[in-house]
């Protein structure tokens, strides 16, 4: 089996206006002030720090991630997921082409990977020949909420 390689951005870039950052600042300041009024200084500091980090990462440009399917497994940049450690997979082509992988990780066990539409059948065939179970998966609700909020 030859290897199959592709690249995609780590997330879909969104243009955020100055109003978006103003709204973030107003929300952070008012919620921090409310926390201070109620005497919860640690939570106020947490909100300010979270707001600063959120603003910083909102301005960050997505990097290009390389993916590779070879005889051993799925390689994402330098991390290798062996076929025998992948619990199941799903190739979604209806809304936007995505590959979903359910791994053995405790934190975020389902990984969603953007793919090109013309690669879907080939990717599915590779996983099936490696005896990885196919299980229908969808984008997690938290991903949909974050996307609707403009992140």
What is the per-residue pLDDT across 30-76, written as a single tens digit (0 to 9) for each?
Answer: 999 999 999 999 999 999 999 999 998 888 888 888 999 888 888 98
Indicate if 108 and 121 belong to the same structural domain.
Answer: yes
User: Average per-residue pLDDT in the chain?
Assistant: 86
Look up the pTM and report it.
Answer: 0.70
Checking if the pLDDT of 107 tops 90, the result is no
123 burial type by CB count under 10 A (0-12 exposed, 13-18 middle, 19+ buried) = buried
Domain that holds residue 27: 18-59
Residues 130 and 88 in one domain: yes
Domain identity same for 52 and 92: no
Q: How confident is the model at residue 15 (pLDDT cuts 50, 70, 90)?
A: confident
Give the CATH number for residue 71.
2.30.29
pLDDT value, residue 70:
87
Same domain, 67 and 55: no
Calpha distance 66→76 (Å, rounded): 6
The arithmetic mean of pLDDT across residues 90-109, rounded, is 82
pLDDT at 151: 62
Domain check: are 46 and 30 in the same one? yes
Q: Is the pLDDT of residue 22 over 90?
A: yes
Token pair of 1 as six digits? 């089996």
* DSSP 3-state of 130: coil
Reply yes or no on whether the pLDDT at 1 is more than 70: no
Residues 69 and 119 in one domain: yes
pLDDT value of residue 150: 61
* Statement to judge: residues 52 and 115 lie in one domain: no
Residue 77 and residue 98 in one domain: yes
- Is the same domain home to 92 and 54? no
- What's the domain count of the chain? 2
Same-domain pairing of 142 and 75: yes
- Percentage of the chain modeled with pLDDT above 90: 23
Burial class (CB in 10 A: 0-12, 13-18, 19+), 139: middle
Q: Please indicate, yes or no, whether residues 117 and 74 belong to a single structural domain of this protein.
A: yes
Same domain, yes or no: 38 and 73 = no
Q: What are phi and psi of 62, to 5 degrees?
A: -70, 145
């Amino acid at each position: 089996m030859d290897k199959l390689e592709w690249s995609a951005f780590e997330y879909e870039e969104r243009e955020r206006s100055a109003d978006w950052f103003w709204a973030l600042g107003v929300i952070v300041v008012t919620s921090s002030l409310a926390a201070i009024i109620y005497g919860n200084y640690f939570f106020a500091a947490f909100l300010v720090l979270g707001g600063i980090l959120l603003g910083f990462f909102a301005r960050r440009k997505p990097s290009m991630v390389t993916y590779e399917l070879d005889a051993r497994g799925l390689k994402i940049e330098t991390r290798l997921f062996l076929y025998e450690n992948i619990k199941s997979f799903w190739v979604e082509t209806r809304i936007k082409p995505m590959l979903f992988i359910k791994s053995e990780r405790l934190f975020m066990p389902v990984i969603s990977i953007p793919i090109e539409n013309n690669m879907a059948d080939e990717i599915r065939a590779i996983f099936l020949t490696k005896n990885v179970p196919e299980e229908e998966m969808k984008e997690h609700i938290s991903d949909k909420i974050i996307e609707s909020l403009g992140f």
